[in-house]
């Protein structure tokens, strides 16, 4: 019996159709091109977004369990899984638990890392961001708005901030819209350094609700307006990380170095 190989790309998801095409689907396309011998499958982990798309657009997207069940039905024997999640947080851990329940259903299941899983990933990411935003970093203060995580075992955002500073970029700031470090350390640096120009962009794979509303929205408490009240000219770059080839390349490398999923 010949082996049937599959590629499963797992994403949180988004209800914004245009940014989905520019980010999640761009990552998927790059991965499909890198692994042409594997049949492509997609899964999203956000139940809320999946439900919204089904009700609003009639678009049904599998969750991880449904995608794996579909592969079993299709006779797949070898599965390569690449998540597009930023961090190995709650969604990532839930995905691992589901995958482990299918270990007996396939000959092989391998999985690549989330975008930031260790300090090497941190250095690679900051290097890629410094290249993507080279002009902005040279022209003013660069602020990255991340989501944040309730898991603090690996303080990603604080370490990213430190890495930028070690690279000689004192005017690059990292904050989060949820959890720590929040926006306050960014505001403190703005008040201390009084930049004339601030470039603000999401440190998010997809430029969805947080980027559109919390970061660049018209409400007085949006990051854009809070920074503008400090006297700076604020330019919002509303593009998800998945839009940049330099970031997508990091996902490809993680898929190429995927490791077998082992029992807990």
Residue 85 annotated as catalytic: no
- pTM across the whole model: 0.95
Average pLDDT over residues 141-155: 85
- 10 Å CB burial of residue 3 (0-12, 13-18, 19+) is exposed
Confidence band of 154 (pLDDT split at 50, 70, 90): confident
Q: What pLDDT was estimated at residue 1?
A: 52
Identified catalytic residue from 85, 147, 169, 210? 147
Q: Kindly report the three-state secondary structure assignment for every residue of 214-247.
A: HHCCCCCCCHHHHHHCCCCEEEECCCCHHHCHHH
Provide the residue ranges of all domains of the chain, joining segments of one domain with +: 5-115+244-260, 119-241
User: What gap in Å lies between CA 71 and CA 79, rounded to an integer?
Assistant: 9
- What is the CA 39 to chain-centroid distance, rounded? 23
The dotted CATH code for 5-115+244-260 is 3.40.50.1400
Instruction: Collapse the DSSP code of 250 into the 3-class scheme (helix H, G, I; strand E, B; otherwise coil) and give the result.
Output: helix
Q: Pick 119-241's CATH classification: 3.40.50.1400, 3.40.50.1100, 3.90.105.10, 2.160.10.10.
A: 3.40.50.1400
- 10 Å CB burial of residue 29 (0-12, 13-18, 19+) is middle
User: What gap in Å lies between CA 61 and CA 38, rounded to an integer?
Assistant: 19
- The per-residue pLDDT for range 44-87, each reduced to its tens digit, is 999 999 999 999 999 999 999 999 999 999 999 999 999 999 99
């Amino acid at each position: 019996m010949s082996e049937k190989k599959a590629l499963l790309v797992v994403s949180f998801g988004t209800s914004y159709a245009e940014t989905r095409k520019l980010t999640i689907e761009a990552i998927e396309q790059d991965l499909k091109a890198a692994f042409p011998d594997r049949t492509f499958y997609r899964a999203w982990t956000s139940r809320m977004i999946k439900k919204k798309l089904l009700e609003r657009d009639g678009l049904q997207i599998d969750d991880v369990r449904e995608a794996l069940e579909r592969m079993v039905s299709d006779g797949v024997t070898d599965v390569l899984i690449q998540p597009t999640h930023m961090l190995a947080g709650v969604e990532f851990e839930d995905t691992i638990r589901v995958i482990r329940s299918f270990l007996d259903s396939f000959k092989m299941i391998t999985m690549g890392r989330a975008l930031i899983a260790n300090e090497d990933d941190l250095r690679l990411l900051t290097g890629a961001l410094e290249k993507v935003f080279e002009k902005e970093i040279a022209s003013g203060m660069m602020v990255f708005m991340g989501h944040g995580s309730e898991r603090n075992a690996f303080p990603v955002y604080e370490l990213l901030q430190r890495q930028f500073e070690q690279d000689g970029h004192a005017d690059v700031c990292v904050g989060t819209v949820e959890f720590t470090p929040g926006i306050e350390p960014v505001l403190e640096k703005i008040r201390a350094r009084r930049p004339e120009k601030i470039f603000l962009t999401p440190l998010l794979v997809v430029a969805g609700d947080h980027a559109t509303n919390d970061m660049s929205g018209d409400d007085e408490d949006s990051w854009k307006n809070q920074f503008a009240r400090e006297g700076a000219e604020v330019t919002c770059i509303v593009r998800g990380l998945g839009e940049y080839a330099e970031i997508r390349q990091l996902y490809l490398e993680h898929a190429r170095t995927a490791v077998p999923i082992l029992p807990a």
